[in-house]
Amino acid sequence: EDQVTQSPEALRLQEGESSSLNCSYTVSGLRGLFWYRQDPGKGPEFLFTLYSAGEEKEKERLKATLTKKESFLHITAPKPEDSATYLCAVQATQGGSEKLVFGKGTKLTVNP
């Protein structure tokens, strides 16, 4: 069964304290891995798509990397406005049907 596990469930950082979020997955034939940010009461906001091991994408203080079994979202010198839940999803094929399988997210809090 296709699974996505994110760790930690919650993370508290001080402003400027860099860290990484982990997304490990088991899927038969990865077709894409996606990172989203979700603020309370809002829909997820698309951040990155990664397709193959070794690929990296960057956007402001965020950098996503991908290996054959996991992806990391590195946050460099975070600010309070980076506080949100970060979701990881993989594109999987099951029974001839394609779908996105989401992890349960990492809730990030950045204190000033």
Partner 1 sequence: KAGVTQTPRYLIKTRGQQVTLSCSPISGHRSVSWYQQTPGQGLQFLFEYFSETQRNKGNFPGRFSGRQFSNSRSEMNVSTLELGDSALYLCASSLDWTGQFFGPGTRLTVL
Question: By the criterion CB under 8 A, which residues form the site for partner 1?
Answer: 31-32, 34, 36, 41-46, 49, 87, 89, 91, 97-105
Q: What's the rounded Cα separation, in Å, for the pair 5 and 23?
A: 6
Position 21, amino acid:
L
Instruction: Give least dist CB 101 to partner 1, A.
Output: 7
Q: Which two tokens stand for residue 69?
A: 């079994």
Give the distance from CA 95 to its chain's centroid.
25
Instruction: Give least dist CB 7 to partner 1, A.
Output: 14
Nearest to 2 by CA among 78, 105, 103: 103
Nearer Cβ to partner 1 (79/104): 104
Nearer Cβ to partner 1 (46/77): 46
Nearer Cβ to partner 1 (75/87): 87
Nearer Cβ to partner 1 (1/68): 1
Instruction: Give least dist CB 75 to partner 1, A.
Output: 21
Beta bridge partners, 45, equal 37
Position 38, amino acid:
Q
Instruction: Give least dist CB 19 to partner 1, A.
Output: 22
Give the distance from CA 9 to its chain's centroid.
12
